[in-house]
Structure 1
């Protein structure tokens, strides 16, 4: 269920964003929320597993499209000088929900059952749908392009190609290691499930803080913010290796990891926008495809390392790939386009 959701979220999004390039973005977001609402409802009531899998496949497509259009919609809703902060708000919501959602769903399931939990999510999705339809203004599609032009963008746009390579490297490293945080803590600190849940929630809060920090710094130095966040990721992984055998050390490492990832997460969105300001949605659809497929590949490679070399090797894998993304940015950053937010406002590198 999880794998199929992730694959469809990554591979389908460039096509769907291009095929809906003439659709008003408020209408498209509302349609995505309808799919989410109905998908959770069908999942709750489905009598067979194949129906659940099919539903998750469709929901994955919707999730990927939101990644591609959600940030750009937020950036268009505010004055140009606040675009980066608007993107930070969206990314912070994703960071918090990704961490809080799982334990909250577990609590609801323990109080009711798994089907009731999905029905509750369906109801919440319906409320958000009503809010979007009521509050979000009309947003005609601004810069989407046909499918045939989406996949040639990295060939013609060198800065975008470099950003996508950077995204692939840091996502492979980050999620390759993050997927094995729990077994690492269990092996090195004998951590109980409650402690691990607490640490991961602290990590999620750190990610939200990192998003907001980057929202203030990317306008001053986008490349510098990414380098600082990437360096923080490397240091946090090294700290986990050095002092992660204690609970205090693991908490400190995960806090730094969360904040640093939040910074890098927002920076890579702004780097994508800076590299392709006139085709941002198309570029973000490629970003989403690279991001989600790299999550799956990173977890797969991390699993191979864990099986054959032990769980500690997965953290070293994360260090190596994150360092590679940093070196790529440092070595090619000057070739990147000058960052600017929608509407043409220039911001310093």
Structure 2
């Protein structure tokens, strides 16, 4: 008897059941059949094995795919945690990163929408008061044609001042909207810092003279910065106006600058401190040191926010420091020497 396994024994036994075939003949028949068809049999076995293996892998990958799809569905669910099989740990981490990024973007968009709504509400609030005053004074003038000329001139002047405030508020509203956009064009040139500070100081002379304050320009005449002159003038003007409004009477506002290798550091210093709770939000829109939104010193609350946006667009930074009875606004902006290429003569 030929050597064979249990399966072969079963096949030979089945063939030997025939009355005309002995077990030895059945064994020989089996051997001949197996020998003649060995390649086919092996091929069939391999095909079956590959099919079963493919089916197992397909089920595994289908399960993984279903897990990934479920994880993707959870990306937009705020509190749903993404949990995958240990084999998919790297995919789980990537999905978690995407979920965190989407949440941050959604939160940022929500804050931006809230800021936009606040901007409209605050602007409407600020416009309402001077607008009501203008209408009130004009109505009074219209209803009292025989009003004395001196009193009439007084009301006309007051209405004119309120109308100018309205114009300032509207202009600052558009300025903060435009300066907050990265698409705001900057026309950069070499800016003479000493001359710009001197010019702004002259323009602010009426406000300075009214409260007995002066601006001391300690900027060296050879210091220049590289930026948009009109927008930088707006920044310095806003900071100096803020210093005039909140510094002590008959005090000195000092402006100084020093040039580093790539940056120019500009400092505006005045008497008077900023409360710590205000110092952290001093550059936020509508932040005022005065609790009254329309106090005598309070502007629109947009000036420093506009200043910060413009400096950031220039690739610089601005900060406020306060203590020991003094307040300083410090600006870092690219110096002209680091930005303008030197051409060979």
Task: Give TM-score scaled by structure 1 length.
Answer: 0.23
Larger radius of gyration: 2
Where is the strand percentage greater, Structure 1 or Structure 2?
2
Which protein has greater RCO, CA pairs closer than 8 Å, 6+ apart?
1
Task: Give TM-score scaled by structure 2 length.
Answer: 0.23
